Structure 1
């Protein structure tokens, strides 16, 4: 007997739009969403809607696609779940930054929200300026913004605080976008430039919304409640050397490598410097990482003692930027045949390296591993024989394009 059209099941395209949205929101990865959006015009219309994308980004952690080091992009390799997307990104994007009109060499300074911060290498100058030229670029869409120089009036106004400003050591980095800004696919960005002088610290901030720099924070070392010995030692430390972490609107720098159980803080909401104490214990100089532990509390990963086979995760009992009491949440027993080091951390991921402790420098296998700080799962990201370690910047998420103009 023939089946009437009324008895036939409805095709997928006849499912109400609000139910399709719920289905698409439950797709596990952005790659799955991209494949679904390519199926038909109506699917694409739903999945590219601004409100849908904001909801999807709130529900799904941004993918860790690889990392940048020494001017190269290292894509996540199989079996990491981001490997297919990372390979596609490596083929589509220009991580040599050849689209920037310049005869000078550009050096990676930071990577965040899919964008890369570069500074111009001025080694050919006998006396390079204190503040280098900076650019923020989107290597996928091949767009960039050249930042204007810090106005002379701003640094001149700080001369009473910085009598030796020419000896300042500077480091620029990207200020993370807020959750709502990321969910909305905002094309705005902010750059913070920190100057470490003999007696003081200063921070300048650039906003793409205004296109201008402004002096944001300054503090004398003596006002940070440091002893004379600490002040003398920290005055020459370049911000490039200190490990930088970010959580809940604050940047943290640790001084463990220099034998100090202190954290330097920069609150980006109030633009104020301050000092906080580390959890008690003998923390290894191979790395610490300050992360967001949830419910407004800070978390910290670190190695206790001389060995790096025990990775400790400890969480502050109180909320706020200056923790007072800490509680060990978990100890990860790593393979004792390897030497581990914490390379970097973001709000969501911890990046570690692992090398064979018994191998020679020219015959060692270097592995990069990422831990999701919410699920505490570790996955291998990258591995290479005879690989030398450099400054590492995780590359996370596909960037929204920058301004429609190619440069300022």
Structure 2
């Protein structure tokens, strides 16, 4: 034993890195962290964790609602999910005046209104910009960092009476930020004629404002029946290093590159504006495009039945004409019958959907069946059972990450936390 201990002490961190990086599974890294303080120091170092994602894909572990809903058998990540259930404060109860906050989206950003929530602040969009607090949170290690408010001189650049939507979110760190504690918060203030962008850098500790000059021209021919009230943008997705929104009223995909803060748009296949959609990575820097369709089919034995299908295509990189897309194969993925499905979200290599059984709401609450959630493996396009839930969860928060042993405090490490997708965003009620 003494000889073995001496041999271990003789190894440098570089030697140990080359040995430990060859462990076959993520669970093995977690066990090694617990087994030896030296192993833990090496495995949780920035240099080691830089190499880890290239060899092991973080696991899609579960869904975050008011509680954590882990994956269930036979999904391949069941063992990893079980270890995260009790250890993480998903509600972020450690925030001051916790009742001021509620969940917003799948990042680490929180926002809240003034302490006196009973005060009438007029237009809700105006209040969100001028009076909201923002906090960056780490639910694993129960830490948070309050950000300074957007300065009044920047807020005054926006006609707050015209705001249709105010959307704050956290941007992933770039490769140049590797090992640093920097992060960026972006807020889009959308109106009928302008798109104003507020950007906070943790490096400078200051807010900056800019404007997307092409917004008015892009939306000039919108079919939006109420552009002064209804957003032109769909749910936000992150793919190929860009934030993406579908613009269903004009059949465009809008992309924001957080490195340059430049906006770009491209055509998408035509479809009904109210169709549920999702944007995913399709390899070679291309974008995959999911749409969810619901039809009613006639069967001999059961009469009319709900039939949901996912349509998937890879968007072209270029164009053949003004409104002529390059042809691309459309793959149709059937979903279980007798259910109405919702797209819940995307987590790395998986798209999550939830099925609501037909006639569920006609039953007494005590007799309603559980709702089935399925994940679509984006590499194989195979449908996999994920879990059961008690309630519908539209646009739920996805939990993707490594074992908790490989997740050191992230409030000071924007790169690691964002890549592990352990963050959650909240906004004032």
Normalising by the smaller structure, the TM-score range is 0.7 to 0.9
SS of 2:182 mapped into structure 1: coil
Correspondence for 1:51: 47
Please report how far the alpha carbon of residue 126 of structure 1 lies from its aligned counterpart in structure 2 after TM superposition.
Answer: 0.7
Correspondence for 2:145: 145
Please report how far the alpha carbon of residue 391 of structure 1 lies from its aligned counterpart in structure 2 after TM superposition.
Answer: 4.0
Alignment of 1:274-293 (within 5 A): 274-280=264-270, 282=271, 285-293=274-282
Correspondence for 1:264: 254
RMSD: 3.5
Alignment of 1:179-198 (within 5 A): 184=178, 186-198=180-192
Please report how far the alpha carbon of residue 375 of structure 1 lies from its aligned counterpart in structure 2 after TM superposition.
Answer: 4.0
CA distance in 2, matches of 1:47, 1:346: 24
Match for 1:297 among 269, 273, 286?
Answer: 286
Match for 2:230 among 207, 225, 237?
Answer: 237
Point out where structure 2 has 5 or more consecutive residues left out of the alignment. 1-6, 297-306, 414-429
CA distance in 2, matches of 1:293, 1:370: 16
Point out where structure 1 has 5 or more consecutive residues left out of the alignment. 1-11
Change in Cα spacing, 1:121 to 1:35, as seen in structure 2 (3 Å) is same
What is the TM-score with the length of structure 2 in the denominator? 0.75
Correspondence for 1:130: 128
Q: Is the 8 A contact 1:283 1:303 kept in 2?
A: no
SS of 2:128 mapped into structure 1: coil
Asked whether 1:309 is paired with 2:318, we answer no
Correspondence for 1:254: 246
SS of 1:58 mapped into structure 2: helix
Match for 1:82 among 77, 94, 118?
Answer: 77
Correspondence for 1:93: 88
Q: Is the 8 A contact 2:292 2:343 kept in 1?
A: no
Change in Cα spacing, 1:235 to 1:211, as seen in structure 2 (3 Å) is same
Please report how far the alpha carbon of residue 310 of structure 1 lies from its aligned counterpart in structure 2 after TM superposition.
Answer: 2.6
Correspondence for 1:171: 167
CA distance in 2, matches of 1:56, 1:314: 31
Please report how far the alpha carbon of residue 138 of structure 1 lies from its aligned counterpart in structure 2 after TM superposition.
Answer: 0.3
CA distance in 1, matches of 2:228, 2:171: 24
Change in Cα spacing, 1:89 to 1:347, as seen in structure 2 (3 Å) is closer
Please report how far the alpha carbon of residue 153 of structure 1 lies from its aligned counterpart in structure 2 after TM superposition.
Answer: 1.3
Query: In the TM superposition, what whole-angstrom CA distance separates every residue of 1:243-263 from its partner, at most 9, and x where no partner exists?
Result: 11222232222244xx55333
Asked whether 1:214 is paired with 2:223, we answer no
Asked whether 1:199 is paired with 2:202, we answer no
Query: In the TM superposition, what whole-angstrom CA distance separates every residue of 1:343-363 from its partner, at most 9, and x where no partner exists?
Result: 212443312112223433641
Asked whether 1:394 is paired with 2:398, we answer yes
Aligned residues: 378
Q: Is the 8 A contact 1:217 1:271 kept in 2?
A: no
